[in-house]
Structure 1
Amino acid sequence: MYELLTLERGDDGVAVLTLSNGKINALSGALLAEIAAAAAELAAEPPGALIVTGGERIFAAGADISEFGGPEEARAITANFHAALDAIAALPRFTIAAVAGYALGGGCELALACDYRIVGARAVFGQPEILLGIIPGGGGTQRLARVVGPSRAKEMCVTGRQVAADEALRIGLADEVVDGDPHERARALAAEVAKGALTAQAITKRVIDAGLAAPSLADGLALERDAFAEVFATDDARIGVASFLEHGPGKATFTGH
């Protein structure tokens, strides 16, 4: 079904989406369409958790510059980016970007669309669009600022400076840095998450994201109150509470419902 990526589901409940568009994994319109289609497939039948990854040297190098033109082409490109990356961000499961190498431009934006970023020691992030006289168009001006703060995001976007793994960890752009293969650590974490209370995880992710977009803390807390009541209607809540009372914490076997 896919020509520029692979989508695999494991027996451990983990799905892995791997970009495979040549050596640099340029995020062309065709690849973005496949990412959107894969996200739709995953939304229809959610896995326990999702890993998004690319090549060992280049996670994804950004947009396909050969597709650039004038304002109308630019409008189509940014729409394609937003459709694909928003679909990944909206998945009701924990998503992990496993980044071994360069994640620049759209590659950085794809990693930012995931919930968590595990990176190798050689990973490099950046939004270098300014060096072409343009700005990030795949969510970089918005998601980067929410992750590293507006001042740091502005500095990175207006200079085009690349950030190595150690600095990425320090500023919150990376969540873990590993000496070995980031895919191994991502798989271990994803498999652990996939065994958890999946409905509660989905509600948690939804409320955090919606709360960040809410006008005020009070609005976010109102969302939390409603979601806290909602989750008590799930099988997993009943299982988890009963297991805690009988066996203590961490012993429940959840159904994901």
Structure 2
Amino acid sequence: MSAERLAVAETGDRVVVTLDRPATKNAIDAEMVAELHAVCHRLEQDPKPLIITGGSEIFAGGADIGQLRERRNVDALAGVNSAVFDRMAALPMPTVAAVAGYALGGGAELAYACDFRIGTPSVRFGNPEGGLGILAAAGASWRLIELVGEPLAKEILLAGRTLNADEARDVRLLNEVVEPDDLLATAHRWVDRILRNAPLAVRMTKLALQMPRSAHPTFDNVAQAVLFETAEKDRRMTAFLDRKKEKA
């Protein structure tokens, strides 16, 4: 996958994407959005876990304000950023954001769209869109409530509160805080943990987590019916029983 705004590295079992606009603090512009769509398309066709990072100093300072200033109502209705973040959130396999430094505005919303977030002590999460005369319309206005609860979401979105790394970890917006040199390695360890599970079981579980309450337990029963017929289920359960016999 060739890209100009992203550095994309694909291995046999995962993809690592690095936001690569250092001169603009990794500002998310239309070109980067298009490249993120291309990554999503690849992972929809060949599901693998995704690690997304901005490097060891900054994640993303927000959307590209120069482009944002020129957008009009038709652009807002097209959901330029919200569409790609929703697509990332819906990827078949889990996603891990490796966050250092500032994750503001659209950069924060990109991190919110991931399943897991690993950060460094320098992390700062915030949504200062109101100060620019707009709202956080690429997921923060509803996804942040799901992640941290309504009272804190209102502090961030309405009163401009910025969370540091410790605060973000305390409310589980960050799953783990590590030193910068260990950021990417820790993200890889999270992917390793994910991949210890059966891939199809992981995919079905992620779908189940995204389903509305009204879809349960019907969805769960159907998904389980599919998994019950897989060779992977038989292999793993047989191995478990064999280990249990050996210990008896």
TM-score relative to the length of structure 2: 0.91
Corresponding residue of 1:129: 129
Q: Is the 8 A contact 1:36 1:83 kept in 2?
A: no
Corresponding residue of 1:203: 204
1:173 maps to 2:169: no
SS in 2 for 1:26: coil
Aligned residue pairs total 241
| Larger mean Cα displacement after TM superposition, 179-188 or 201-210 | 179-188
Q: Is the 8 A contact 2:109 2:140 kept in 1?
A: yes
Amino acid at match of 2:223: A
Corresponding residue of 1:237: 233
Q: Is the 8 A contact 1:33 1:80 kept in 2?
A: no
SS in 2 for 1:153: helix
Relative to structure 1, is the Cα distance of residues 195 and 219 closer, same or farther in structure 2, using a 3 angstrom cutoff?
Answer: closer
What is the CA-CA distance between 1:179 and the residue it aligns to? Answer: 3.0
SS in 1 for 2:22: coil
Corresponding residue of 1:64: 64
Q: How does 1:69-84 map to 2 (within 5 A)?
A: 69=70, 71-72=72-73, 74-75=75-76, 79-84=79-84
Q: Which runs of 5+ in 1 are unaligned?
A: 250-257
What is the CA-CA distance between 1:88 and the residue it aligns to? Answer: 1.1
| Alignment deviations for residues 1-48 of structure 1 (CA, whole Å, 9 cap, x no partner) | 21100221224x22101110233111101101110111101111122x
Q: Which runs of 5+ in 2 are unaligned?
A: none
Amino acid at match of 1:190: V
Q: Is the 8 A contact 2:99 2:118 kept in 1?
A: yes
Corresponding residue of 1:7: 8
Corresponding residue of 2:217: 221
Matches of 2:129 and 2:175 in 1, distance apart? 24
What is the CA-CA distance between 1:70 and the residue it aligns to? Answer: 5.6
Corresponding residue of 2:39: 38
Q: Is the 8 A contact 1:98 1:117 kept in 2?
A: yes
Relative to structure 1, is the Cα distance of residues 26 and 73 closer, same or farther in structure 2, using a 3 angstrom cutoff?
Answer: farther
What is the CA-CA distance between 1:122 and the residue it aligns to? Answer: 1.0
| Alignment deviations for residues 137-186 of structure 1 (CA, whole Å, 9 cap, x no partner) | 21111111110011211111001221100000111211111134321111
Amino acid at match of 1:56: S
Q: Is the 8 A contact 1:55 1:100 kept in 2?
A: yes
Q: Is the 8 A contact 2:56 2:183 kept in 1?
A: no
Q: Is the 8 A contact 2:16 2:50 kept in 1?
A: yes
Q: Is the 8 A contact 1:58 1:101 kept in 2?
A: yes
Amino acid at match of 2:86: D
Corresponding residue of 1:253: none
Matches of 2:75 and 2:150 in 1, distance apart? 24
Q: Is the 8 A contact 1:40 1:87 kept in 2?
A: no
TM-score relative to the length of structure 1: 0.88
Matches of 2:7 and 2:203 in 1, distance apart? 24
What is the CA-CA distance between 1:71 and the residue it aligns to? Answer: 3.7
Q: Is the 8 A contact 1:199 1:234 kept in 2?
A: no
Relative to structure 1, is the Cα distance of residues 165 and 38 closer, same or farther in structure 2, using a 3 angstrom cutoff?
Answer: same
SS in 1 for 2:110: helix
